[in-house]
Amino acid sequence: MSHFKAPPKKSLGQHFLTDHGYIDKIVMAVNPKPGDRLVEIGPGQGAITFPLLRKHGELTAIEFDRDLITPLMEASEGVGRLTIIHKDVLSVDFGKLAGEDKLRLVGNLPYNLSSPILFHAIEHAGAIRDMVFMLQKEVVDRMAAGPGSKVYGRLSVMLQAYCQVDALFVVPPGAFRPPPKVDSAVARLVPRDPASIGIHDPRRFGDVVRAAFGQRRKTLRNALSEVCSSEQIEAAGVRPDARAEQVAVVDFIRLANVVVGS
């Protein structure tokens, strides 16, 4: 048995992937190799879980919905070794879970939780080798956007500072049950080597980026008035009269480092 029928819960933002063509594309994007530590966030009815389990032999899944756990375990018998962690993913310490290894995360992230899960993952980026996530297409567009784009924002800067972000392919509503009202897309995030990131103080970097995009229409001079001075912005080689969406990720990193160092 590969997966089972359980009614999707609206309260958890559940949309179950049912199209085998797209399931295969996701499994190919993950392309597990012997020895990989695969961790799936939100296995749902197991649409991606069981193809990965058949291909790889073992998988750890993090599932918040108690009603899905027993059916998943029963369906996994004879397919491979499935370990289920019954927790909210935001409370899972990926560093502890990884131990000496690095995790490969995969998942169809719930629409209402995708940004918090992404921020949680980058906090543990040192424990993660890569991530292949399906999200709303508009979220993937924001994740991968460059400066000057209308959708370039806090999410773009925070993720791209810590990871290489690539949008892979679009998944239409008809691939799901129930069909969502929007397109989805699959993205790959590969955490950068910590030595190459160059952020001196992650918390301060996050504060600068949050403040810069908190009032998008304002110039950096005004948006960052409580975080740093015009002189500090200039010292980082950034124009105080620029707006946040015009500032590249490397410039935000430099600006935050100037603030930390002064």
166 is in an annotated binding site: no
Pairing between β-strand 81-85 and β-strand 58-62 as defined by DSSP bridges: parallel
User: Do the annotations mark residue 112 as ligand-binding?
Assistant: no
17 is in an annotated binding site: yes
Q: Is 46 within any annotated ligand binding site? A: no
Give yes or no for a contact between 23 and 17, defined as CB atoms under 8 angstroms apart: yes
Q: Which residues fall within 8 angstroms of residue 120, CB to CB, at 6 or more apart? A: 89, 90, 94
- 245 marked as part of a ligand binding site: no
* 8 A C-beta contact, residue 43 and residue 67: no
Residue 88, annotated as binding a ligand: yes
Q: Do residues 249 and 157 make contact, with C-beta atoms less than 8 angstroms apart?
A: yes
The encoded tokens of residue 121 equal 């993952």
* DSSP states along 194-242: HHHH--S-HHHHHHHHHHHHHTTTSBHHHHTTTT--HHHHHHTT--TTS
Residue ranges at the known binding site for S-adenosyl-L-methionine: 15, 17, 42, 63, 88, 108
Q: Which residues fall in the annotated binding site?
A: 15, 17, 42, 63, 88, 108
